[in-house]
């Protein structure tokens, strides 16, 4: 049996759920005060007035429900996730339309503690519940010659008001190289903090690839395709200059509009300086070999 990945992060490293849920208020308050180095501590956050689940999960990127940070929480309730199915096709032995329960039947649900980065150069450690993508791919049988895994998000204009606008070429698409997809760090997440993922965060199942930036984490997946050709990814197709296919966390390659060299951890206390961003988001030992010989400035 293949050895499963383990990490040295403990529960003590996990960003408190209250801070993760309230990251909109934490980030907004710090920025508004001009106090990037003065972030509320977990104890102070606990003392804040409690907010509802709907309110505290209202800072999201999910353009199918609107481009504003609060739009997904306001609109995603229209998404009907009952009877959710994923079409698995392409170079697989057992193509078909599978329920999430069928795809994950017999797999052991695990809590994984991953560093999760936000676009504002903040970092968090978030426990995701889910399954290795490799387990699902093994179940359907990857055929010889397959080199990539393509993903597609639901496209439901009657339930997703954001798709009325041509912000992206709908439906939303993403892709991984097969060896990236089969890495034990690559997760199909169905829960977070021990709870089901809210609609605005990608219910009922989404991709989590912890050494890549967040826009690689496709939500509400309805199709998985095995192919021998590099698949289109929505942000890369929309703006290849800013969003490479690989989207790896690489502090030596600046985004055209900002530096990626430093990060700050949410929940780091009152004295919370920026620190150097780690290559591959701290998972260099586990994934650097996937890119041996590649020019990571060209293939970013």
Alpha carbons 120 and 75: distance in angstroms, whole number? 23
Q: What pLDDT shows up at residue 7?
A: 67
Are 217 and 247 contacting, i.e. CB atoms less than 8 angstroms apart? Answer: no
Q: Is the pLDDT of residue 50 over 80?
A: no
DSSP 3-state of 147: coil
Alpha carbons 237 and 288: distance in angstroms, whole number? 25
Burial class of residue 9, CB neighbours in 10 A (0-12, 13-18, 19+): middle
Residue 114's pLDDT band (boundaries 50, 70, 90)? confident
The partner residues of 225 in beta bridges, in order of sequence, read 89, 150
DSSP 3-state of 163: helix
Task: Compute CA 260 distance to the chain's CA centroid, rounded to the nearest angstrom.
Answer: 18
Read off the tokens for 228. Answer: 């021998």
pTM: 0.86
Task: Compute CA 197 distance to the chain's CA centroid, rounded to the nearest angstrom.
Answer: 12
Write the pLDDT tens digit of every residue in 60-109. 889 999 999 889 989 999 999 999 999 999 999 999 999 999 999 998 88
Write the pLDDT tens digit of every residue in 184-213. 999 999 988 888 999 999 999 999 999 999
Q: Is the pLDDT of residue 177 over 90?
A: yes
For the chain, domain boundaries: 13-291
DSSP annotation of 142 reads B
The most confident of 15-19, 29-33, 203-207, by mean pLDDT: 203-207
Exposure on the CB side of residue 207, measured as CA atoms within 13 A: 31
Are 154 and 100 contacting, i.e. CB atoms less than 8 angstroms apart? Answer: no
Are 123 and 263 contacting, i.e. CB atoms less than 8 angstroms apart? Answer: yes
Exposure on the CB side of residue 110, measured as CA atoms within 13 A: 18
Residue 220 zone, left/alpha/beta (φ > 0; ψ -120 to 50; rest): left
Alpha carbons 184 and 150: distance in angstroms, whole number? 18
Q: Which CATH number fits domain 13-291: 3.40.50.620, 3.90.420.10, 3.40.50.1370, 3.20.20.210?
A: 3.90.420.10
Q: What pLDDT shows up at residue 35?
A: 36
DSSP 3-state of 135: helix
DSSP 3-state of 223: strand
Write the pLDDT tens digit of every residue in 239-257. 999 999 999 999 999 988 8
Read off the tokens for 86. Answer: 């994923």
């Amino acid at each position: 049996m293949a050895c499963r990945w383990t990490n040295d992060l403990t529960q003590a490293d996990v960003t408190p759920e209250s801070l993760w849920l309230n990251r909109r208020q934490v980030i907004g308050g710090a920025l508004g005060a001009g106090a990037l180095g003065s972030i509320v501590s977990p104890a102070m956050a606990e003392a804040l007035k409690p907010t509802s689940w709907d309110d505290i999960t209202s800072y999201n990127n999910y353009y199918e429900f609107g481009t504003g940070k609060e739009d997904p929480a306001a609109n995603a309730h229209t998404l009907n996730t009952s009877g959710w199915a994923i079409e698995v096709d392409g170079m697989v032995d057992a193509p078909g339309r599978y329920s999430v329960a069928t795809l994950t039947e017999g797999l052991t649900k695990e809590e994984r503690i991953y560093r999760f980065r936000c676009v504002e150069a903040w970092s968090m450690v978030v426990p995701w519940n889910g399954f290795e993508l490799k387990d699902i791919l093994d179940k359907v049988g990857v055929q010889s010659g397959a080199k990539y895994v393509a993903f597609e998000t639901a496209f439901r204009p009657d339930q997703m008001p954001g798709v009325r606008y041509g912000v992206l070429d709908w439906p939303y698409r993403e892709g991984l190289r097969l060896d990236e997809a089969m890495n034990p760090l690559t997760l199909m997440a169905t829960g977070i903090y021990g709870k089901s993922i809210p609609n605005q965060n990608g219910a009922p199942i989404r991709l989590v690839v912890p050494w890549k930036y967040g826009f690689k984490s496709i939500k509400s997946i309805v199709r998985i395709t095995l192919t021998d050709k590099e698949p289109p990814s929505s942000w890369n197709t929309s703006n290849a200059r800013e969003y490479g296919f690989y989207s790896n966390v690489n502090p030596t390659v600046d985004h055209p509009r900002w530096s990626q060299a430093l990060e700050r951890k949410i929940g780091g206390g009152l004295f919370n300086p920026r620190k150097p961003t780690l290559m591959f988001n701290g998972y260099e030992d586990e994934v650097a070999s996937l890119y041996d010989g590649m020019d990571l400035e060209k293939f970013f």
